[in-house]
Amino acid sequence: MSQAIHHDEHYDAEGSKIAMWLFIFTELLLFGGLFIIYSVYRYLNQDAFHLAAEELNTTIGAINTVILLVSSMTIAMSTSALQKRQKGTTLLLLGITLFLGLVFLVNKYFEWGVKFEHGIFPGSEHMTENLSQGEILFFGLYFVMTGLHALHIIIGMIIIGVTVAKVSSGKVHADRSALLENSGLYWHLVDLIWIFLFPLFYLIH
């Protein structure tokens, strides 16, 4: 009986991992399509994209990159800690990951806030009257792509929050760690997407 239950749990874990990889693949297709659109528009509006990129705060972008890289490390470490049956360490590392995700969002909120104060947001009068079509395209893509990424951060934090609750209650443990592993995969995806977004918008002038 116990062997049958163990087999079912193993099957469920494998199934959930396959489902997560399929989901990650669709997300990569979505952002891949956006990256292609960005590349085409950049090629057609090189000077305008260069001017628009000057408006972005490279320092905040770089800080957010470091934050996400560290958070990827902490969630990977939490998986190792769970396998070693170190429940307290697992919860601590997941807590740090959540905190870093929140710091990322707060930084993004202030960064967007400055743009809104200056009238730089899709559909604003300032943009339609003072910026070229190429610059409007740049900021349109900037808000869509970084906004979509921020949404993924929020979803990732919700998933990690659920994982924390289940680790805490003992439902996720060393022998049943699929949820934590899938949370880690999703968070690494979010990190990977930002590693492409950061140079495209902030560094390439």
pLDDT higher than 50, residue 44: yes
* Residue 103: per-residue pLDDT: 97
Q: Given a cut of 60, is residue 2 above it in pLDDT?
A: no
Average pLDDT over residues 146-168: 96
Which pLDDT score, from 0 to 100, does residue 4 have?
Answer: 41
Mean pLDDT of the chain: 91
| Range 65-69, long-range pairs (CB < 8 A, 24+ positions) | 65/194, 65/195, 65/198, 67/100, 67/103, 67/104, 67/107, 68/100, 68/104, 68/190, 68/191, 68/194, 68/195, 69/191
More confident residue, 10 or 80: 80
CB 68 within 8 A of CB 108: no
> Does domain 2-203 match CATH 1.10.10.10?
no
Q: What is the pLDDT of residue 12?
A: 66
What is the rounded CA–CA span in Å between residue 175 and residue 94? Answer: 18
The pLDDT, as a whole number, for residue 138 is 95
125-144 average pLDDT score: 90
> Exposed, middle or buried by CB within 10 Å (0-12, 13-18, 19+), for 97?
buried
3-class secondary structure, 76: helix
The pLDDT value recorded for residue 10 is 55
φ, ψ at 176 (rounded to 5°): -145, 70
State the pTM of this model.
0.88
Q: Please give the pLDDT value at position 139.
A: 94
Looking at residue 73, its pLDDT comes to 97
Asked whether the predicted pLDDT for residue 1 surpasses 50, the reply is no
